[in-house]
Amino acid sequence: MDLAGKKAAVLVEQMYQELEVWYPYYRLREAGVQVDLVGPEAGVTYPSKLGYPARADRAAGRVSAQQYDAIVIPGGYAPDYMRRCQAMIDFAQAAVDARLPIAAICHGPWLLCSTSGLRGRRATCFMAIRDDVRNAGAEYLDAECVVDGNLITARKPDDLPAFCRALLAALAGPGGPGE
């Protein structure tokens, strides 16, 4: 698949789940997508749950959703930290408002709970936050990957193949792979 010319933001913060950042990051790059790691501060290295470093290319407060064709919100405990940064919330809300493909896996929908992005939508997530997702207005489904329009959600690292296929199809647009 050649998605050259497309651009995606993968959000990072401390305590992220390693596979949920790096699997989509490299899968997107393999497809020709330019990928930025976006965190609260540019140039800061955020450690994963196991200490693996992710250095933010861009600061959330210094980019706009209009610069991207999609955003990825990984899990781990990073979304809890993302929700403590207004610039991260604002960036996610701007992506919701722009109707960009938003791919959130595991605890990733936690960030969306601080936006309007789950209201009236179908979504999945790690089971520990399903009540949060419901309380944010979504219909929770226990499924490998749920696609509701531009919203793509998955439960856990085992779901990454289906999650990434759905994300790549969304970036390809109507008639693209998976359509």
Q: Which residues are catalytic?
A: 106-107
Task: Look up residue 12 and give its two tokens.
Answer: 């990072």
Q: How far apart are CA 80 and CA 68, in angstroms?
A: 23
| H/E run at residue 59 | strand 58-59
**Helix 160-172 vs helix 18-30: crossing angle, to nearest 10:** 40
The closest of 116, 108, 133, 144 to 20, measured between CA atoms, is 108
Burial class (CB in 10 A: 0-12, 13-18, 19+), 16: buried
Burial class (CB in 10 A: 0-12, 13-18, 19+), 121: buried
Q: How far apart are CA 35 and CA 45, in angstroms?
A: 16
